[in-house]
Amino acid sequence: MKINKIYIPIYTATILIVGILIGSKLNYTKSSVLSFNQSSPSQAKLNRLIDLINYEYVDSVNSDSIVDLAVSGILSHLDPHSTYIDNQNIEAVSDHMRGEFVGIGINFYPYKDSVAVIKPLEGGPSIKAGIKSGDRIFKANGEAVYGKSLSNGTVIEKLKGAKGSEVNLTVYRRSLDSIMEFTLKRDAIPIKSVDAAYMFNDTIGYVKINRFSESTHKEFTSVSSRLVSDELKALVLDLRGNPGGFLDVAEAVADEFLEKDQLIFFTKDKFNESDYRYATSGGLFEGIYVYVLIDESSASASEIIAGAIQDNDRGTIVGRRSFGKGLVQREMPLGDGSVIRLTVSRYFTPTGRSIQKPYKDGDKDYNEEFLDRYFNGELYSASHIEVNDSLKFETPKGKIVYGGGGIIPDIFVPLRFRMDNETLDYVYRSGYISYFIFEELDHYRSFYASFTKEDFVKDFEVNDAFLNRFKTYLGARLNSEINYFRDINDVKLVLKSVIAEQLFGSDLAVQIFNQNDVMLKKIITINP
């Protein structure tokens, strides 16, 4: 089966953009102490080059942009994960990794030249003030927030501000055909890293983590503690698609499963100095069996947890071979608000494995390694996973594990749901489904408002009429008739889950989405 190249950025974007921009919060060691006051011949050479361009070059040149290019170019020759973040983007990246931002607390998108509220965020200023799904924001502090040139960046710029600052919003409410005024105080808005936590059945709990930000451990323990009971016999930790994040946060989450003094991971720097991280006592799930779900997009901090569970014989890893990122970055300021995330060490699993995949053939081969897995059949059969016997390790209970490129699962589950339905995957990730669902809810808001969570799960069905409207919507935007979804039941399930997301939030959306999940079905068969 041939894959269209338009899907390449879709399958790799999360890992190659988000995952690259994350770093550890390990404390500085003496290996990282640099003397910036002593200029080397190479540094002097670069400084002279910039001076010559500034003073002698015939045309006017922005030296800052040249320096940015130089820094990015230098880092690109080191490894795929050392990267440069300029001062214009550092705030957004920092917000993402901090797990919160300051704003009014809405999910939105530009819709017909206006800002449409998809959903006000629970506990945020907007929902407290009375903003509702479907509202259009026309003005912020008297400035227009509409027009054909409207962009997400423009909207964010006008709605964000200092914590505690006021913003006056002019809002059109379609259901009342009325213009309304609201005054809100901006506040810190959490960015959820735990998408869902619920009982999958009577004895198995389920938690899905989408990344490891500063707030993830606190969020994880808060929502997961609700699952702890005498009936809970096993927990599914879903790390599929999780690009990683802070190592110390991954360490804290892993500690919730491991017993005191069990090794979680260790690092080695360029001076071969090691830093070992061990579990403490009193973990939330120390006595509960754990299944960890991984796939080809599970990277970095996700692999720390999977490796710790696997190497300590603590549970079962289910899915497909993980991404293979075993390098540790540290954020270092450059003095002008910009930073570099520089690789300063490698991490190893408890048995001593490095799971970093090779990158000597350059970034392109590294970034497109997913395609190699696709074409060689690895995504469909465990027998196609290549292992290196020289990188073979043994767990305390005698299980053989391998280093050299990702975590190989204990139980392999072939790719089915998304990649097997490439059209559905593309449409989902492109945002067309979210936009369509918003328009559906906007037209029939009173109908959907009548559902409780329980009634929605039990009674709502994506019928043929609904499906035909969706196909018509797609056809108009893709300039072609959509008649090549391989499994229409998959389409209906995704549509229902996105409706649940916009009506009730991610927790219910994930529950619905998981109803036909092949990995969870596999766990049921081995843990009835």
Dist. CA 199–CA 263, nearest whole Å: 29
Please pick, among 297, 300, 338, 356, the residue that the annotation labels catalytic.
300
Q: Give the single-character DSSP code of 309.
A: H
CB hemisphere CA count around 130 (13 angstroms): 9
Please report, as a single letter, which amino acid is at residue 379.
L
For residue 159, the Cα-to-chain-centroid distance in whole angstroms is 24
Q: What phi, psi does 386 have (nearest 5°)? A: -85, 130
Nearest alpha-carbon partner for 243 in 302, 291, 195: 302
Q: How far apart are CA 88 and CA 269, in angstroms?
A: 31
Residue pair 304/404 in contact by the 8 Å Cβ criterion:
no
C-beta of residue 66 within 8 angstroms of C-beta of residue 53:
yes
Strand 411-412 versus strand 315-319 pairing type:
parallel
Q: Which residue(s) pair with 235 in the sheet?
A: 205, 290
Q: Is the sign of the CA dihedral 303, 304, 305, 306 positive or negative?
A: positive
The whole-angstrom separation of Cα 374 and Cα 8 is 11
**Is 236 within 8 Å of 206 (Cβ atoms)?**
yes
Residue 302 annotated as catalytic: no
Contact assessment for residue 104 and residue 186, using Cβ atoms and an 8 Å cutoff: yes
Which among 296, 295, 298 is positioned nearest to 210, based on CA atoms? 298
Enumerate residues 6+ apart whose C-beta is below 8 A from 57: none
Number of alpha carbons in the 13 Å side-chain half-sphere of residue 326? 26
Label each residue of 322-347 as H, E or C: CCCCCEEEEEEECCCCCEEEEEEEEE
| Catalytic status, residue 329 | yes
E strand or H helix at 71: helix 63-76
Q: Which of 119, 132, 325, 496 is catalytic?
A: 325
How far is Cα 460 from Cα 369, in angstroms, rounded to an integer? 41
Contact 315, 291 (CB under 8 A): yes
CA dihedral over 448, 201, 209, 16, signed as positive or negative = negative
User: What are residue 116's DSSP bridge partners?
Assistant: 109, 136
Which structure tokens are listed for 431?
Answer: 């945002």
C-alpha of 44 from chain center: 40
Does 325 participate in catalysis according to the annotation? yes
Q: Which residues are catalytic?
A: 300, 325, 329
